[in-house]
Amino acid sequence: MNLDQHLQNLTRQKIPSDLERILDMPRQGPQDGQEAADYWNTALGLGGASLRPEQALALSVIEKRLGGFFMYGVGFGKTLIALLAGTAAGACSPVVLVPPALVKQMEQEAVKWSEFFKFRTPAVVSYGLLSTRRGLLEDLKPDLIIADEAHNLKDKKSVKTRRFLRYFNQNPRCGFVALSGTMTSKSLLDYAHLLELALRERAPIPFNRYELERWAACVDPDGEPNQSDLNRLSYLVQWAHPSKLTPTNKETIRSAYRTRLTTTPGVLATVRSSCDASLIMQHHRPGHTQAIKDALKNLREKWEKPDGEPIADASQASATFKSLCTGFYYRWDWGENGPDLEWLEAKRHLNRLIGKVLRYSPREGRDSPALVIDWSRNGGGTQELREAVRLWDEIGKRPGPKNVAVWLCQEKLKYVLQYAYNSSDPVLLWYSSNALGSSLARLGVDVRGAGSLPPSGGLAACSIAVHGAGRNLQMYRKCLVIEPPASGSIWEQLLGRTHRSGQQADAVEWDFMDYAGSVAKAKTHAEYVEQTTGTRQKLNYATILTTGQ
């Protein structure tokens, strides 16, 4: 053994074993998407339609690995990948998970695409049903699960994600495909468990929880790495930039991590936009009336709502600030008899005890609030919990308060309508709160909320929660977001409703009304996503104008 080899071996001995595994994994080079498309169009095609290169590459990964991790942006055909994945993998009982609002759409897409491709129709299950129906996956017995909009599973503490992970623990041979253009918004921990399920031992992340959290400290925007963390990941930086001396800091670690992630076999990411149209955003900030100014001052100085109700925490203060900027606030309406303090205390006490069970000892049969209550009624849990459930069974029958919106002024609504009626193009309005949607409906706007189909043209208002993902609304080129989200992942989905493949306009406009810096915060999320995953984010390449009124 020569001196160079000896020194290299000594250096390698200092690298943690999990990191050494990650550095030793092969790099995936550029792939011929057209060759893959020719293969799959011949194997599955019935004529009349063709797969895109990105779709075909995903199917090739699934065929080889019985899984895959695909960070595909809006407009790259994730729906068709989800439908064909089971056939590509040779699965007998594939299941596709989708958001509740997209179940019917996915079933309709399956019928449509069956005319052009041969595939085994998968069972379509909503994430919501996964939360409410115990033993659902165990009854279906899938051998391949495809999670469309997989970011819905990012919270490992949620009921749906715990049941999802439990199924894989009990059925380790089941394959998994993750599909999303927004796998993360602000942390590696958002998707680490999904990446590990999709690639198993080939996942380019530590399997040790402590090590994973130290990686997140180095990569995440809010992470605070110590010098030991930086020293550990200097090996990853050297691996990514072997020919030059590169300093180790959060920026170079993010770049190195992106290289390791996107060159890992089984991982695919889109690095271009699916739409050639320009994306223009303009900030509108109409002034407040005196009533709103006074309410905001009172909120800031006294932490009170306009009716004198105290604000409980910073989260409630932020929500109240945003609603007041639109012109309203929420309050509880107890009716003529006033607040029922016994009802309030019983509910708060029970919720606190249920939260402790879900946080510290969730198990099958007690992994949702309703199941914890049933478990307690059957003798489970502590004496304190059983007593709280018994008390709530009595007191909870009383009528509780209604959460009602109180409008201080409607000047912002007038501004929105004037904006829409003065536009030469049909405008699609976007809202978050039911109070705003109801008020727009009373003013004659076609409002599409829960349980409604998406609009097909003309002035309309859509709920961000219901129609902000998975819908093709390319017939619109002009939108106004009245209550903008502060999440980069929500914005990426939202902008993709009109800025997508098939858009005929040269430019797509997305205006927004923002008083809380929500778009600026979302943009920092988008920058993080692009720096760590390589997936292009629309907020990063949009032209954002700040000169609106």
CA distances from 61 to 57, 145, 176, 415 (A): 6, 15, 12, 50
- What is the pLDDT, as a whole number, of residue 364? 74
Task: Tell me the pLDDT tens digit for each residue of 135-181.
Answer: 999 999 999 999 999 999 999 989 999 999 999 999 999 999 999 98
- Backbone angle region of 477, left / alpha / beta, with phi > 0 → left and psi within -120 to 50 → alpha: alpha
The whole-angstrom separation of Cα 88 and Cα 65 is 10
Structure tokens belonging to residue 323: 């609603």
Burial of residue 92 (CB within 10 Å: 0-12, 13-18, 19+) is exposed
The whole-angstrom separation of Cα 177 and Cα 97 is 10
- What is the pLDDT, as a whole number, of residue 10? 37
- What is the pLDDT, as a whole number, of residue 218? 95
Among the listed residues 25, 532, 22, 15, the one whose alpha carbon sits nearest the alpha carbon of residue 252: 532
Helix (H/G/I), strand (E/B), else coil: 144: strand
Among the listed residues 81, 151, 150, the one whose alpha carbon sits nearest the alpha carbon of residue 122: 81
- What is the pLDDT, as a whole number, of residue 547? 55
Which residue is associated with the tokens 């910073």?
314
> pTM for the complete prediction?
0.82
Single-letter amino acid, residue 407: W
The CA-based dihedral angle spanning residues 289, 294, 295, 300, taken in that order and rounded to the nearest 10 degrees: 130
Tell me, letter by letter, the H, E, C secondary structure of 268-296: EECCCCCCCCEEEEEEECCCCCHHHHHHH
- What is the pLDDT, as a whole number, of residue 498? 94
What's the average pLDDT block by block, 10 residues per block, for the chain (549 residues)? 43 65 92 93 95 96 96 90 98 96 93 97 96 93 97 93 95 96 91 97 95 95 91 92 82 94 95 86 94 95 89 85 96 85 89 86 80 90 93 90 93 96 96 96 94 89 90 94 94 93 92 94 92 91 77
